[in-house]
Chains A and B, each alone.
Chain A
Amino acid sequence: MPFAAIYVPDFPVASIVRLESELREHAVAVIEGTPPAVRVIAANDKASEAGIEPGMTKLEAEERLAACNGRLAVRSPQREAAAHAALLDCACGFSPRVEDTSADTAVLDLAGLEHMFGPAASMARELAARCARTGMEANVAVAANPDAAVHAARGFAGVTVIPRGHEAERLASLPVDVLAALPDPQQCQEMLDTLERWGVRTLRALAALPEVAVTERLGQPGLLWQRLARGATMRALHVTEPPLIFEETFELEYPVELLEPLAFVLHRMLEQLCARLSARALATNELRIRLNLEASDDCGIAELRNYRIHERALRLPVPMLDAKIFLKLLQLDLQAHPPKAPVVKVWLAAEPAEPRRTQNGLLLPASPEPERLELTLARIAGVVGRGEPIPGADREPRVGSAEILDTYRPDAFRMNKFSPPAAREHEPSLPSASNAADHACPPATALRRFRPPLVARVTVCEGRLARLAAECANGEIGWAAGPWRVSGEWWTDHSWSREEWDVSVGGALYRIYRDANGWWVEGTYD
């Protein structure tokens, strides 16, 4: 029963570099602490080569990094949480039994997976590749017991496979530091100091010590360490079910005013979210973005509350998983609803959903792809703008499908988000071989409305409508039918009533009406 361990070295640095891939080729060190006690806690290989070590002061680190064009970053708990979640997503996409060992380590049970992914070496390489897609370079080790796999991943770079029975031999060259995982850090440091005084620096040396003497001098923890050094422990995994939370956070070095540079940040965050969702075989139907804004010095306290956060939510008609389309939709939305101040921090979350599965029929008509349709609708909305404000909601959309309201009020409809129903083969409305049914009914006469209705002046002569003057028509009324009296909602504050007429002026047919405010032209029959 093999186990695989994924270990991300220099985890605080990896969590920073994950969303800023251009830093991979530079020396990066992470600092933490309150001034003046700010210290380096992690550094990548290039920073180590430049002489940066954990525990170094900030000033020392800055001086050395300046010489090699490196970067000093402040530790970000949010980014580390997102990186840890990405690590677990990667592991859970591979095996259903995953142990959340620590922030930088996860252990998987590979039992039964060889039928899907092949031998252990193939599985380890696939795991490493999936981690790389989430933006983190990880060490992957496969061994017969979880602890041996963890120590091998922490000690050896790249992919390591330890055959069963060869744990002690393969782990022998590793330093005893890899065993430093006791719950009590002080006890752990004491153990390491003791082993250092004894001259025991490798696992081979620790494994060769007599057990009784180790127990007498170091107690049960020492005995445990010796067994770990021999790779002879076996324990059950503490399987965890990571929550389905897909969030990414990015703090900007300086406030960003324009949307274009923000798009670069959003693109990376969306790529990471999509990679994590893909690892769990999921898609998303809702994106939420929260921008922390720079507060203006001349704002009052109340205004600060309104301006610090800018939140938007994009609800998609179907579950999707395309970072480019998400980016475009976010850009269009932010262009339509721009933040009121420069942005200092970005938080992005995706609501997980089952991926869309469709089976297209051969005889069904083609329809727009949901992803492209959503993009097209967002672009058109940017062209035609938004309509009238609606109480308690955003402005009325000017792109969508109309829904007629259940009222007799003329021109009562609501604009809904356009989401055409899927075509089905057994719909009764499918065309039959004969078109006789279609031609049996005469075509309907349509009304073209003026929005808003046009102001009109009607001249009445001897009880008949004689003349119409409006923007659309100005002349004698040749024929008239009416009045047709309609009214409604008299029990509310929005009661209405009017008299409608169909009139002919200059060869065109109009519907006009008179209400409490006068005469209006409602539309043309066409």
Chain B
Amino acid sequence: MSARVSTVLSSLAAVEMVDRGIAVMPASRLQRPSPPTVGTGIAALDELTGGFPRGALTEICGPPSSGRTSVLLAILTKMTRRQEVCALVDTSDSFDPASASAAGVDLRRLLWVRCSAKQVLHTTTNADAQRRRASSSSPLRRCDSALGFAVDSRRSSLDRVEQALKATDLLLQGGGFGLVVVDFADILPVAARRVPLASWFRFRRAVENTPTVLLVLEQEPFAKTCASLVLNLSAAAHRQSPATAQADVSDNTHSAHASLLRGLEIHAELLRDRQQQKKPVRPAATRWDSQVAWAG
């Protein structure tokens, strides 16, 4: 009798027969199946992460020229080739369709949401360009010297962030997308930090139990525990030709006309991976090279 009960109860993963009777295990000790993942098309990155998880939030953070957008194009290429519909919430309107097309992205399957700032000026004629140069002769806008990168006024960034959050909400509610990307890569951390944690939590809940990969590009990780996978990218150097002994950014001995940019050497560090049930022997960091379109 007890053997039959034990067999039945052991099939319910929450309970276990012990000598004294029945022990109830907490849910955290249950063996949950691994969520499905999607490869990025970058062998080194896929070996590091096992792929980006579906139904979860993934963050890719790093400074400018660290390779974040290259990873984005790689996964967009992979998913659009699989005939999945993808969406990109471009907070800074910085997506380059030409780069994406050269990388192999099927632009027909990519929904591009271009957030706008209310104060952005658009240069449409030479007269406009000359006027902008004249107006910009006054002291330049505030630069974030620590990050070496500043794009818009603070208010403009907040407008864009607000639009991006609303657009992301609508896309996740609509459903049906294989990949939804929120591009905060050019948003100053001081503006991105103002995104309430509740928004990230809401996004995570919206994609749970769906086949959608939610990917966020940013300069620093902001989603905290809402992210299942967090990667930190950095660019060790850019690859150039003619190749030098050290492809160092300080090497300026060659004539500029004799140099050619060939790509980036990208380093990736795994900061968090909640999908790992146990900690296998897996490297915590990796590197790969990206290549520009004209490198052949």
Instruction: Select one of B41, B64, B141, B249 contacting A526, CB under 8 A.
Output: B64
For the complex of A and B, the 5 pairs showing the least CB-CB separation, nearest first, are: A368-B176, A376-B174, A444-B103, A446-B69, A402-B97
Could you tell me the distance in whole angstroms from the C-beta of A447 to the nearest C-beta in chain B?
Answer: 5
Considering only CB atoms, which chain B residue lies closest to A441 in the complex? B291
Other than the known A402-B107, A445-B67, what 4 A-B pairs have Cβ atoms closer than 8 Å? A399-B111, A443-B70, A523-B96, A525-B238
Contacts of B106 in A (CB 8 A): 429
Known: A448-B185, A481-B260, A507-B65. A400 touches B126 (CB 8 A): no
Do B116 and A368 have beta carbons less than 8 Å apart? no
Do B70 and A444 have beta carbons less than 8 Å apart? yes
Known: A438-B39, A507-B65, A507-B249. A372 touches B175 (CB 8 A): yes
| Bound Cα distance A365, B98 (Å) | 26
Do A526 and B66 have beta carbons less than 8 Å apart? yes
Do A372 and B148 have beta carbons less than 8 Å apart? no
Segment at the interface with B among A226-234, A352-360, A384-392: A384-392
Could you tell me the distance in whole angstroms from the C-beta of A275 to the nearest C-beta in chain B?
Answer: 27
Contacts of A380 in B (CB 8 A): 113, 166-167, 170-171
| Bound Cα distance A65, B14 (Å) | 73
Do B171 and A376 have beta carbons less than 8 Å apart? yes
Segment at the interface with A among B25-33, B75-83, B272-280: B75-83
Considering only CB atoms, which chain A residue lies closest to B128 in the complex? A452
Total B residues in contact with A, Cβ cutoff 8 Å: 100
| Bound Cα distance A366, B240 (Å) | 42
Contacts of A366 in B (CB 8 A): 176, 178, 211
Instruction: Select one of B108, B143, B176 contacting A373, CB under 8 A.
Output: B176
Contacts of A403 in B (CB 8 A): 97, 107
Could you tell me the distance in whole angstroms from the C-beta of B48 to the nearest C-beta in chain A?
Answer: 13
Do B133 and A507 have beta carbons less than 8 Å apart? no
Known: A387-B116, A399-B111. A442 touches B291 (CB 8 A): yes
| Bound Cα distance A418, B114 (Å) | 13
B197 within 8 A of A: no
Do A384 and B167 have beta carbons less than 8 Å apart? yes
B140 within 8 A of A: yes
Task: Using CB atoms and an 8 Å cutoff, list the residues of chain A in contact with chain B.
Answer: 364-369, 372-373, 375-377, 379-380, 383-385, 387-388, 398-404, 410-411, 413, 415, 418-421, 423-424, 427, 429-431, 435, 438-439, 441-453, 455, 464-465, 469-475, 477-483, 501-502, 504-509, 516-518, 523-526
Do A455 and B132 have beta carbons less than 8 Å apart? yes
Segment at the interface with A among B2-10, B16-24, B223-231, B251-259: B251-259
Do B256 and A526 have beta carbons less than 8 Å apart? no
Contacts of A465 in B (CB 8 A): 256
Do B126 and A372 have beta carbons less than 8 Å apart? no
Contacts of B43 in A (CB 8 A): 439
Could you tell me the distance in whole angstroms from the C-beta of A517 to the nearest C-beta in chain B?
Answer: 4
Considering only CB atoms, which chain A residue lies closest to B168 in the complex? A380
| Bound Cα distance A507, B163 (Å) | 30
Contacts of A506 in B (CB 8 A): 148
Instruction: Select one of B104, B140, B256 contacting A501, CB under 8 A.
Output: B256
Do A517 and B78 have beta carbons less than 8 Å apart? no
Do B121 and A452 have beta carbons less than 8 Å apart? yes
| Bound Cα distance A480, B97 (Å) | 25
| Bound Cα distance A524, B261 (Å) | 13
Contacts of A448 in B (CB 8 A): 64, 69, 92, 94-96, 185-186
Task: Enumerate 8 A-B pairs (CB-CB under 8 Å) in ascending A order.
Answer: A380-B167, A400-B111, A419-B108, A445-B263, A464-B256, A472-B149, A502-B261, A526-B68
Do B238 and A504 have beta carbons less than 8 Å apart? yes
B136 within 8 A of A: yes
Which residues, 123 to 147 on B, are CB-close (under 8 Å) to A? Answer: 123-124, 126, 129-130, 132-133, 136, 140-141, 143, 145
B209 within 8 A of A: no
Do B116 and A442 have beta carbons less than 8 Å apart? no
| Bound Cα distance A220, B103 (Å) | 86
| Bound Cα distance A421, B118 (Å) | 33
Considering only CB atoms, which chain B residue lies closest to A451 in the complex? B93
Instruction: Select one of A443, A517, A524 contacting B129, CB under 8 A.
Output: A517
B101 within 8 A of A: yes
Contacts of A373 in B (CB 8 A): 174, 176
Do A508 and B64 have beta carbons less than 8 Å apart? yes
Could you tell me the distance in whole angstroms from the C-beta of A183 to the nearest C-beta in chain B?
Answer: 58
Task: Using CB atoms and an 8 Å cutoff, list the residues of chain B in contact with chain A.
Answer: 39, 41-43, 46, 63-74, 78, 81-85, 92-104, 106-116, 120-124, 126, 129-130, 132-133, 136, 140-141, 143, 145, 148-151, 163, 166-167, 170-171, 173-178, 185-186, 211, 235, 238, 240, 249-252, 256-257, 259-261, 263-264, 288-293
Contacts of B72 in A (CB 8 A): 446
Instruction: Select one of B63, B167, B177 contacting A507, CB under 8 A.
Output: B63
| Bound Cα distance A455, B128 (Å) | 12
Known: A404-B107, A420-B109, A482-B257. A383 touches B163 (CB 8 A): yes
Contacts of A481 in B (CB 8 A): 240, 256-257, 259-261
Contacts of A419 in B (CB 8 A): 108
Do A383 and B167 have beta carbons less than 8 Å apart? yes
| Bound Cα distance A368, B288 (Å) | 34
Instruction: Select one of B145, B249, B261 contacting A474, CB under 8 A.
Output: B145
Most chain-B Cβ atoms within 10 A of its Cβ — which of A369, A473, A477? A473
| Bound Cα distance A451, B292 (Å) | 21
Do B170 and A517 have beta carbons less than 8 Å apart? no
| Bound Cα distance A319, B28 (Å) | 48
Considering only CB atoms, which chain B residue lies closest to A525 in the complex? B65
Contacts of A523 in B (CB 8 A): 94, 96
Could you tell me the distance in whole angstroms from the C-beta of B89 to the nearest C-beta in chain A?
Answer: 9
| Bound Cα distance A480, B258 (Å) | 10
| Bound Cα distance A523, B292 (Å) | 14
Could you tell me the distance in whole angstroms from the C-beta of B100 to the nearest C-beta in chain A?
Answer: 8
| Bound Cα distance A464, B101 (Å) | 33
Known: A402-B107, A421-B109. A525 touches B171 (CB 8 A): no
Do A452 and B122 have beta carbons less than 8 Å apart? yes
| Bound Cα distance A439, B126 (Å) | 44
Considering only CB atoms, which chain B residue lies closest to A374 in the complex? B174
Contacts of B185 in A (CB 8 A): 448, 526
Do B42 and A443 have beta carbons less than 8 Å apart? yes
| Bound Cα distance A168, B148 (Å) | 98
Do A507 and B148 have beta carbons less than 8 Å apart? yes
Do B124 and A388 have beta carbons less than 8 Å apart? yes
Contacts of B63 in A (CB 8 A): 507-508
Known: A366-B176, A401-B110, A507-B65. A517 touches B133 (CB 8 A): yes
Contacts of B46 in A (CB 8 A): 439
Most chain-B Cβ atoms within 10 A of its Cβ — which of A372, A443, A449, A471? A443
Do A478 and B252 have beta carbons less than 8 Å apart? yes
Instruction: Select one of B82, B92, B150 contacting A429, CB under 8 A.
Output: B82
Contacts of A401 in B (CB 8 A): 107-112
Do B259 and A443 have beta carbons less than 8 Å apart? no
Instruction: Select one of B92, B113, B140, B256 contacting A469, CB under 8 A.
Output: B140
Do B67 and A429 have beta carbons less than 8 Å apart? no
